[in-house]
Amino acid sequence: MPKKPSYEELKRKVDLLDRAVRENARVEADLREELEKLRALYQAAVSQSDDLLRESEERFRFMVETTGDVIYRLHYDTMRYDYLSPGIQKLTGYPPEEIMDSGFSRLVTRIDLPGKEDVDPEVLVRDRHEGKTGEYRGDYLIVTRTGERKWLRDHSFPWYDESGRLVGSVGILSDVSEYREAEALVRLRTADLEESEEKYRTIVENVPLVVYRIRPTGELLFINQFVEEIIGYGPAEILREPALWSRAIYDEDRSRVADLRKKALLDGREFIAEYRVVHKNGSIVHVMDHAIPTRTPDGRVNTLDGIIMDVTGRVKLQEQLIRSEGIKTISEVSARLAHEIRNPLVSAGGFARRLLSSMPPSDPNRDKVEIIVKEVSRLEGILRMILNYIQPIELELSPVDPKSLVETALRGIETDLREKAVAIRATLLPGLPRIAVDELQMKQVLKSLLKKALSQMVPGDTLTISSALEEDVIELLVRYPVRNLSPEDVDHFFYPFTTSKMDYPAADLPMSKIIVHKHGGEIEVSQESPGLIAIRISLPVRWRPFRMEGH
């Protein structure tokens, strides 16, 4: 049986318990006080958080309602909006509730995506159902309640739930009508600019002028395709080797043109010069160069923009006019001279012939009278040639094949060829354009020239004749060898008044030159190499009549 505690032990335990109770009461009071403090702090924090949340909500609502943009959240399963900011009514004229009920897609008439235009709406729905989601941008053309057409830009991001499943999208709709109108205007103006630039380029590339631009340093910046017609080199060749541009200028004109162009660049003055250039094929082309300097805002010469015109035709026409005036003067003098000579010459010739016919063969003076008759006859021949030379020429033009024309002339001298034992080598192009000529007179021209050639050749020689088409001109070229050929022989080839004995072709040569000129053509005689003479006849395909006074 356990021993009962003593009075002192019981009293000690009671005191301990009483002390513990009092201690716990004090701790409980302290804990209650701390709890009240914490509760007060919590209430204050909650109140502050609510205030901040309300302030944030108010700020967000203010931003949403005043920016003009529309914030939305779209559920993909129903394809309906569960939130639309109030700005949708300003953009579309429909309140958010009506859009949520009837849908936004009914307002859309066109969808443009980056790099794609007028996209089918089903494409967007299919992409979303197939999980092809991500940041999205698109422009919608809508019709508002009032019938106004607007462009809205949609910029959205995927919306996922807590489990990571795609629920829909959250985005912003913005009015970009002004931007799209400006964009369309830029495209239109760009297209107009490109069209204008293409027209300018077409004009520059096809105008029958050389168009160029050079820097003050002389560097060639641009030159159009027509330069190939003038000097035979294309723009690419000249830009690759600019020296071709300056080397093409005729030697005697090069320094003058360079000085004038340099002065125009230094002084900023207009540049005008007429000079000659040498074509790649060796022909001489007369050109008119006209350039105007352009300046920078501070007044310095920036470039020299110019055009070059082929004036060869005008120069030749001037030469023809000068020649025409000379021929007119010669004709007037010749006509007067022939008239003054004819009467006394006829009288002297008639008297000499009568005197000769009355003299017996044994008369010692008969030889002297025969010389008089012979020289009078030669003078009468010269006089007839002068009279023919100054007589007006009438042409009866008809279209003639150049090849047939030459072949007919060659057949007309077959007998002379056999007698002279001279060979003919003809290279006549078939299918050349017909030329408008007086066939009879032009055949006579060719026969006279060919007979003249035969008279200067020896047996075994070869005469070559060829034809070619150069632009709008038919060229006939006759070449043959001549012994002891001097420059004077070439210069006086058509000279009618010679002291040597004249045969038929020589007397007809001046008329040959006149007839060719009357047809608007040219005839030139040159010494191509020692002992080789060349006759070049140029006749226009489209006849250009050139009227000379008195012819």
- Is residue 421 predicted with pLDDT exceeding 60? yes
User: Which percentage of the chain shows pLDDT scores above 90?
Assistant: 20
Rama region for 272: left / alpha / beta (φ>0; ψ in -120 to 50; rest):
beta
Give the least confident one: 10-14, 235-239, 368-372, 445-449: 10-14
- Is residue 461 predicted with pLDDT exceeding 70? yes
Distance CA 454, CA 421 (A): 10
Q: What is the pTM for the complete model shown? A: 0.41
Q: What is the mean pLDDT of residues 402-413?
A: 90
Helix (H) or strand (E) holding 313: helix 312-358
Domain 398-540 indexed as CATH 3.30.565.10: yes
- Is residue 432 predicted with pLDDT exceeding 70? yes
Q: What is the mean pLDDT of residues 15-32?
A: 75
User: Which percentage of the chain shows pLDDT scores above 70?
Assistant: 86
Distances (CA, A) of 34 to 23, 26, 31, 523: 17, 12, 5, 131
Q: What is the mean pLDDT of residues 392-409?
A: 86
Of the candidates 80, 60, 79, which has an alpha carbon nearest to the alpha carbon of residue 71? Answer: 60
Task: Kindly report the average pLDDT of the chain as a whole number.
Answer: 82
φ/ψ of residue 164, rounded to 5: 90, 5
Ranked by mean pLDDT, the top range of 132-141, 259-268, 285-294, 356-365 is: 285-294
pLDDT for the residue numbered 282 = 85
Decide which of 128 and 88 is more confident: 88
pLDDT for the residue numbered 110 = 92
User: Using one digit for the tens of pLDDT, what is the confidence trace for 287-323?
Assistant: 999 998 888 888 888 888 999 999 988 888 887 777 6
The domain covering 207-310 belongs, at the CATH homologous superfamily level, to PAS domain (3.30.450.20)
Same fold, 316-390 and 398-540: no
User: Using one digit for the tens of pLDDT, what is the confidence trace for 89-146?
Assistant: 888 999 988 888 888 888 999 999 988 888 888 887 777 766 666 888 899 999 999 9
The domain covering 66-175 belongs, at the CATH homologous superfamily level, to PAS domain (3.30.450.20)
* Domain extents in the chain: 66-175, 207-310, 316-390, 398-540
Distance CA 251, CA 243 (A): 14
CA count, 13 A, side-chain hemisphere, 165? 6
Give the least confident one: 31-35, 189-193, 293-297, 331-335: 331-335
Distance CA 182, CA 377 (A): 97
Burial class (CB in 10 A: 0-12, 13-18, 19+), 305: middle
Domain 316-390 indexed as CATH 1.10.287: yes
- Is residue 208 predicted with pLDDT exceeding 70? yes
